[in-house]
A and B are shown apart, each in its own frame.
Chain A
Amino acid sequence: MALLEVTDLHTSFFTDAGEVKAVNGVSFTLEKNKVLGIVGESGSGKSVTAYSIMQILAKAGKIVSGSVKLDGEELVGAPESVMNKIRGNRISIIFQDPMTSLNPTYTIGSQLMEAILLHTGRNRKEAWERAVEMLKLVNVNEPEKRMKQYPYEFSGGMRQRVMIAMALACEPDILIADEPTTALDVTIQAGILELMKDIQKKEGMAIIMITHDLGVVAQLCDEVIVMYAGGICEKGTADDIFYYPKHEYTKGLLSSIPTVDSEYEKLRPIAGTPIDLLNMPAGCPFAPRCENAMKVCIRQAAPLEKVSEGHMAACWMNQKKD
């Protein structure tokens, strides 16, 4: 049985302008010890997918249908008391912006201890020791002194280390990282990514890495899901996605990023502008921007189908007989 099983998840936001289908039929499984990357551009539904798993959606957002199973236990529709035991304990999340995810009025120590006291049977002294141990794990120097400091005394990279320490304090089965390094400088980012990989190997947890940065995906992920307009257009191993992309959007993304070899060539961007989720086209959501769109693409979206072992894509091009 997979550790996490998401099946046909639909999440919508009900706004004054109408229903926004932010996640539109997403299915995937996550095994222990694996790092799953979810990539996509803004509005592709990658963060909302994660928030749906944790059930921390904004007020207007609602899981319309689908299932999220953790170790076989259904989470959609589960009472808040069950979710409270799961959040921060079995599934943890770290957010993009380390500047705003810590409470400025509490010390780092008390924020770290909060989750430990809530989810484990430890007393205050044991929780303190555990928190110090976690700060050591994420390479924060002088952890005892740092415990008594406030967030403003920490740099961005250090705060993100604290966030990771906090997320891992209760030994979660799954760590969801929502753009954890986007706000950080590149040398700091490299350190944080290495740290996450090391801890993941040591603790044997699974990571869902949400990012728009294909470099981060290449460095960290075993498996990759590419999302566009709330749906999955392709999933496979990192090598499948980077070396044998089978969806026109994935191909477009890869040719849009500058690489070492592209220095003397023009980039090949994807034409058009990102999709308006309030006015979704009838067929494949990517068809209006796709240079190889066929008549069928405009009429009907392609199903996510297997192209090789463990590699799936939702593109009619793969079925074209030539």
Chain B
Amino acid sequence: MKDNQQTQPLLQVKNLKQYFQLNNGFFSTQVLKAVDDISFDINKGETLGLVGESGCGKTTAGRSILQLYKPTAGEVIFDGKKIEGKATIEAYRQKATMVFQDPYSSLDPRMTVSDIIGEPLDVQNLVSNAAERRERILDLMDKVGLNSEHAARYAHEFSGGQRQRVGIARALATKPEFIVCDEPVSALDVSIQAQIINMFEQLQENMGLTYLFIAHDLLVVRHISDRIAVMYLGHLVELADTDAICDRPLHPYTRALMSAVPMPDPKVARANKRIALSGEIPSPLHAPKGCPFHTRCPHATDACKESMPELKEVESGRLVACHRALEIN
């Protein structure tokens, strides 16, 4: 992907905020800051991994980027064009699609596979007649390794892996350039997971796709991503090339996260020294003041309790949001 870096990124996210208003009865409202001021770019043909623990806002980030939620503030710029207004959003939805986590609940049980895959074609008026529609659907099924004889079947007749293939075919129907993959393999068995990961890589090679790959399994993310972004409590805390962030994480949270991954290798696992974190993730409703991580950080100082560190470039291509990133490493 290195040669693309000089050109304009395919997708730019600038100061994106996604707040949800919660009504807890009369006159009492709370604001949940699910995504709080995140910015990053994704280059064409690249896979950006987005990791973090449950509740960190990674799924919300993916959804607001696709305008499935209306962002509270911030900009999403796709192919140089700012995404706002109905017409732009409609056109954007052809170019940017999504694969969901749960292959069981993300497919309509009353629709046949061919209708599920064909729905985006109908909605976006991409085919002019039934024969063309059928041809496109069969071509998509072939791309994701589904047998064309199964076009008239319903989702419940398929295994988890095959359902996820249907979900991917649906995401590919509008010939997108960018796909948000939200935990696309976490519901699948190990042997099937590998089939789907390989297919994502194959499709990327063949079609020049760009992925935002959201997952909590760090080994999967490491395998598939060119760069990795780490989120904590709605904030981006670190972003760097895959090797750099996995081998030498700079943010204290990333370091704890990486050291907690159970390695599927007994000798490595025995030798691994885990950096234990005290406490649990605070609720995003009561996010701490200052650095969001200071309540659990072994290196926190008074400055960390007061001011929020900015995400800055500490080395070429390495962004870290930590006051003490250079001192502690």
Who on chain A is nearest to B220 by CB? A258
A257 and B159 contacting across the interface, CB-CB below 8 Å: no
B260 and A269 contacting across the interface, CB-CB below 8 Å: no
Interface string of B262-306 (1 = CB under 8 A from A): 111111110010101100110000000000000000000000000
B162 close to chain A: CB less than 8 A: yes
B218 close to chain A: CB less than 8 A: yes
Who on chain A is nearest to B264 by CB? A214
Q: Which residues of chain B from 127 to 182 have any CB-CB distance to chain A below 8 Å in the complex?
A: 159, 161-162
CB A261 to nearest CB in B, in angstroms, measures: 9
With contacts A158-B280, A215-B264 taken as known, whether A269 is within 8 angstroms of B162 at the C-beta atoms is no
Q: Which residues of chain A from 247 to 273 have any CB-CB distance to chain B below 8 Å in the complex?
A: 252-260, 262-263, 266-271, 273
Report how far A239 CA is from B269 CA in the complex, Å. Answer: 12
Report how far A188 CA is from B189 CA in the complex, Å. Answer: 22
Interface string of A38-50 (1 = CB under 8 A from B): 0001100000000
B53 and A212 contacting across the interface, CB-CB below 8 Å: no
Chain B residues positioned under 8 Å from A65 (CB to CB): none
Q: Looking at the complex, which one of B191, B216, B263, B266 makes contact with A41 (CB distance below 8 Å)?
A: B191
Report how far A191 CA is from B278 CA in the complex, Å. Answer: 10
Chain B residues positioned under 8 Å from A274 (CB to CB): 159, 189, 191-192
B244 close to chain A: CB less than 8 A: no
Interface string of B215-228 (1 = CB under 8 A from A): 01011101110000
B13 close to chain A: CB less than 8 A: no
B195 close to chain A: CB less than 8 A: yes
Q: Which residues of chain B from 191 to 218 have any CB-CB distance to chain A below 8 Å in the complex?
A: 191-195, 197-198, 201, 216, 218
Who on chain B is nearest to A289 by CB? B191
B274 and A194 contacting across the interface, CB-CB below 8 Å: yes
With contacts A242-B265, A262-B223 taken as known, whether A269 is within 8 angstroms of B191 at the C-beta atoms is yes
A189 and B269 contacting across the interface, CB-CB below 8 Å: no
A297 close to chain B: CB less than 8 A: no
Report how far A190 CA is from B223 CA in the complex, Å. Answer: 21
A187 and B260 contacting across the interface, CB-CB below 8 Å: yes
A253 and B190 contacting across the interface, CB-CB below 8 Å: yes
Report how far A40 CA is from B193 CA in the complex, Å. Answer: 14
A218 and B189 contacting across the interface, CB-CB below 8 Å: no
Quick one: which of B189, B191, B259 has the most chain A CB within 10 A?
A: B191
B257 close to chain A: CB less than 8 A: yes
Who on chain B is nearest to A181 by CB? B262
B30 close to chain A: CB less than 8 A: no
Chain A interface: which size bin? Answer: 35 or more
B190 and A263 contacting across the interface, CB-CB below 8 Å: no
A322 close to chain B: CB less than 8 A: no
A215 and B262 contacting across the interface, CB-CB below 8 Å: yes
Who on chain A is nearest to B268 by CB? A218
CB B110 to nearest CB in A, in angstroms, measures: 23
B194 and A270 contacting across the interface, CB-CB below 8 Å: yes
A186 and B53 contacting across the interface, CB-CB below 8 Å: yes
A64 close to chain B: CB less than 8 A: no
Report how far A193 CA is from B223 CA in the complex, Å. Answer: 24
A215 and B257 contacting across the interface, CB-CB below 8 Å: no
B274 and A190 contacting across the interface, CB-CB below 8 Å: yes
Report how far A257 CA is from B280 CA in the complex, Å. Answer: 29
Chain B residues positioned under 8 Å from A185 (CB to CB): 53-54, 216, 281
B53 and A214 contacting across the interface, CB-CB below 8 Å: no
With contacts A187-B260, A258-B197, A274-B189 taken as known, whether A157 is within 8 angstroms of B280 at the C-beta atoms is yes
B276 and A191 contacting across the interface, CB-CB below 8 Å: yes
A190 and B191 contacting across the interface, CB-CB below 8 Å: no
B97 close to chain A: CB less than 8 A: no
Q: Which residues of chain A from 230 to 257 have any CB-CB distance to chain B below 8 Å in the complex?
A: 238-239, 242-243, 252-257
Report how far A253 CA is from B222 CA in the complex, Å. Answer: 18
B266 and A267 contacting across the interface, CB-CB below 8 Å: no
Chain B residues positioned under 8 Å from A239 (CB to CB): 266-267
With contacts A185-B54, A212-B189, A258-B219 taken as known, whether A218 is within 8 angstroms of B262 at the C-beta atoms is yes
Chain A residues positioned under 8 Å from B314 (CB to CB): none
A155 and B280 contacting across the interface, CB-CB below 8 Å: yes
Who on chain B is nearest to A258 by CB? B223
Interface string of A150-166 (1 = CB under 8 A from B): 00000101100000000
Report how far A257 CA is from B260 CA in the complex, Å. Answer: 17
A203 close to chain B: CB less than 8 A: no
Chain A residues positioned under 8 Å from B262 (CB to CB): 186, 189-190, 193, 213, 215-216, 218-219
With contacts A41-B190, A263-B222 taken as known, whether A254 is within 8 angstroms of B274 at the C-beta atoms is no
Q: Looking at the complex, which one of A257, A266, A268, A271 makes contact with B264 (CB distance below 8 Å)?
A: A257
Report how far A243 CA is from B262 CA in the complex, Å. Answer: 17
CB A101 to nearest CB in B, in angstroms, measures: 18
Chain A residues positioned under 8 Å from B277 (CB to CB): 187
Q: Looking at the complex, which one of A218, A243, A263 makes contact with B263 (CB distance below 8 Å)?
A: A218
Report how far A243 CA is from B33 CA in the complex, Å. Answer: 46
A273 and B161 contacting across the interface, CB-CB below 8 Å: yes
B73 close to chain A: CB less than 8 A: no
B192 and A273 contacting across the interface, CB-CB below 8 Å: yes
Complex A-B: 7 CB contacts under 8 Å: A185-B281, A186-B261, A187-B53, A189-B260, A218-B268, A252-B191, A263-B223
Q: What 9 A-B pairs are tightest by C-beta distance, nearest first?
A: A215-B262, A269-B194, A258-B223, A256-B194, A270-B191, A190-B260, A185-B53, A41-B189, A214-B264
